[in-house]
Structure 1
């Protein structure tokens, strides 16, 4: 059993959809109809009236494309972070020749909202305001679910465009998508579709900025996807789109509230079982995401991961970067957000610890 925080296990019906014969995405209208239907279903899950687009490429494409589309050389970008992916946004800004300011908090703490406010006000007073700000909703490497609202309030006050990586939360817990200018998702997390697609909900304000600067890139660029009525910018991944649509149908048939409740139950069970084994979450357990639990096992995570795989045939994840051997992660997201699956995974962890 794979119990990782993405790519997640793909349900049989989604695999069947991907294996079915597909229309030619460059020629046949049947694909365009499916694409449009998929975007409408995504908008319902996003909970947004903004445009939704689906690009062919794994979720990191969305993060880079958001920066490439919005940031011109010299543009000031505020990167709000308390994790590896939040820090990574600054690297994308540097690659686009933007001017990144990283306001970071320790990985086991919440966003430093006071520091964000100070950075915004100092920039405004200096006559060098930020154009764009970036955040991560669920920092998957540490299992942290960030409270976006206080920072979104500040960005709105200062007229700064917001970019949010919601790849590991979208479809598993509510995301304030309608308050976000570019809200990024991907197929392989809570949707439980195969990896290969980036999703994004994009506000009119963000589109206008893209139009004004006309990014030169084709692939790492959202702008060509604003209007695909005359065809797609490049050959789309037709089988992946079929799989994603089926995965979205599963979520909508269950109902979003029930889906969120199922994720909460799975998360609670995972942490309860962990506490019974003497395990604690990394950082504040109240900030752990309903989609992933990160147990703190300093210097032991890789060993336990290997034992779980060898002895119980259960695949788990460890941390990333400096925390690679200190965090053991269980992904109770999407198709795996079920109490019985949590129990099987935690039984395996318990056996490995013994």
Structure 2
């Protein structure tokens, strides 16, 4: 059983549609029709009327493309962070010649709003980045206070919601570039980066005239040719089917299911004496990170070899101290998570 926080296990119908006869996306109108329908479905899941983009590449492509398209030499960008992906935005900014100001907190703390307010008052920023769900730590950030501050200062916002879209409500209507990916809560295969892009963000991109090629969002802003390169047909069809499943269930029901499964996972963990990382009030409904100092790698290997259950460890300094259960998308299932926790109990 694959219970990692992305890639997730695939529903049977998603695996089935991937075996359909290949469509040539460049010449077959059937693909264009399906692609248009896919964009509409993504708009419903994102809960936005902003333009949708589906790029061929896993989620990191979307993060880099957002920065490559909006940041040039000398641009001042505020990167709000309390996790590895929030920190990583600063690296992207610097790689494209921008000047990043990192307003950060420890990985087990909430977003540093007081520091953010002081930094905005003292500086001059027209772009900001942050992360909704920091998958490596299992934290779900409340973005509303930060988005309000950025709005007050007319700052364009870029948000990594890769691990929350489709599993938790995201305030997309207040975000200029909201980033997702196929392999997380959508439960489709890795390989597609998705994004909603506001009019304000398009204005900024057009002013910048990005020099990058494949990481440039601008070619996707052409109404006559919505996908400028040969698209990844099989992955598009798989994502389309995965979204059909999600929408048939209903977004509210999907969010309730994720919260229920997260509660079950954490209750079982508590019974085993495991503490969540960070505290339960800020833990995401899509992933639970348990604190297991010095034991994560050992437990991961034993679970995989003895029980055929695959979980994830942490990143960086947390690599051997955090064990993560991914209960997102198809894996947000009480029985599947129960089996994983049974295996973990046996090993502990």
TM-score category of the 2 structures, normalised to the smaller one: over 0.9
Contact 2:220 2:226 in 1 (8 A): no
The alignment partner of 2:214 has SS state of coil
The alignment partner of 2:276 has SS state of coil
Partner of 1:56: 56
More moved, 190-199 vs 24-33? 24-33
Partner of 1:141: 136
Partner Cα separation in structure 2 for residue 250 and residue 347 of structure 1: 28
Instruction: Give, in angstroms, the shift of residue 232 of structure 1.
Output: 2.6
Unaligned runs of 5+ in 2: none
More moved, 209-218 vs 86-95? 209-218
State the Cα deviation string for residues 134-165 of structure 1 (Å, max 9, x = none).
00000000000000000000000000000000
Partner Cα separation in structure 1 for residue 55 and residue 222 of structure 2: 13
In the alignment, structure 1 residue 341 sits paired with structure 2 residue 341: no
Contact 1:26 1:232 in 2 (8 A): no
Matches for 1:22-101 after TM superposition, within 5 Å = 22-101=22-101
Partner Cα separation in structure 2 for residue 284 and residue 231 of structure 1: 43
Matches for 1:1-20 after TM superposition, within 5 Å = 1-20=1-20
Partner of 1:185: 180
Unaligned runs of 5+ in 1: 124-128
Contact 2:177 2:198 in 1 (8 A): yes
CA pair 272-209 structure 1, distance change in 2 beyond 3 A: same
- TM-score when normalising by structure 1: 0.97
Instruction: Give, in angstroms, the shift of residue 230 of structure 1.
Output: 3.3
Instruction: Give, in angstroms, the shift of residue 228 of structure 1.
Output: 4.4
Partner of 2:254: 259
Partner of 2:315: 320
Partner Cα separation in structure 2 for residue 39 and residue 163 of structure 1: 20
The alignment partner of 2:345 has SS state of helix
State the Cα deviation string for residues 154-179 of structure 1 (Å, max 9, x = none).
00000000000000000000000010
Contact 1:191 1:244 in 2 (8 A): yes
Instruction: Give, in angstroms, the shift of residue 35 of structure 1.
Output: 1.1
Partner Cα separation in structure 1 for residue 224 and residue 316 of structure 2: 43
Partner Cα separation in structure 1 for residue 285 and residue 328 of structure 2: 8
Contact 1:54 1:199 in 2 (8 A): yes
Q: Which runs of 4+ in 1 moved over 3 A?
A: none
Partner Cα separation in structure 2 for residue 310 and residue 262 of structure 1: 29
The alignment partner of 1:14 has SS state of helix
State the Cα deviation string for residues 70-107 of structure 1 (Å, max 9, x = none).
01111000000000000000000010010000000000
The alignment partner of 2:18 has SS state of helix
Partner Cα separation in structure 1 for residue 220 and residue 226 of structure 2: 9
- TM-score when normalising by structure 2: 0.99
Partner Cα separation in structure 1 for residue 108 and residue 182 of structure 2: 27
Contact 2:177 2:196 in 1 (8 A): yes
Partner of 1:126: none
Partner of 1:131: 126
User: RMSD over aligned Cα, in angstroms?
Assistant: 0.8
Partner Cα separation in structure 2 for residue 81 and residue 262 of structure 1: 28
Aligned length: 348
Instruction: Give, in angstroms, the shift of residue 231 of structure 1.
Output: 5.8
Partner of 1:297: 292
Matches for 1:113-132 after TM superposition, within 5 Å = 113-123=113-123, 129-132=124-127
